[in-house]
Amino acid sequence: MQTRAIAKNVGHPPRKVRRVTDAIKGRSVPEALAILKFLPNMPARDVYQVVASAAANAENNYSIDPGDLWVINALADEAPSIKRFRARSHGRASRIIRRSTHITIYVSDDPNDLPRSVRKRR
């Protein structure tokens, strides 16, 4: 049974979050949580919370043991950006874009749900 959890408008750029999500795709949930706990990247904290939430959703809604779950897919999609201007020399302005991310984590109790590209790494 597949379950998901979503965190919207996380204050990290999608490019940096994707580096973290790529590290946990295809891993078991306990292993993914251990990896995220010790990654030095700042987005790892937010991804950790989403993975823990997806595991809790599976446990509460379908009575699945979190130790039996696998991270099927981890997505980092672009969310609305905040656009601002900063003063520059000679009376000009430059644009500042603060990007944010929607993080989606899919977990399943069946390891056969893993995509083929991820199965090869296991």
Q: Strands 2-10, 93-98: parallel, antiparallel or unpaired by DSSP? A: unpaired
Say what the pTM is.
0.90
Instruction: Sketch out the chain's domains with CATH numbers.
Output: 2-121 (3.90.470.10)
Q: What is the DSSP string of 58-103?
A: HHHHH---GGG-EEEEEEEEE-PPEEEEEE-GGG-EEEEEE--EEE
More confident residue, 47 or 110: 47
Identify the pLDDT of residue 121: 60
Encode pLDDT of 58-99 as tens digits.
999 999 999 999 999 999 999 999 999 999 999 999 999 999
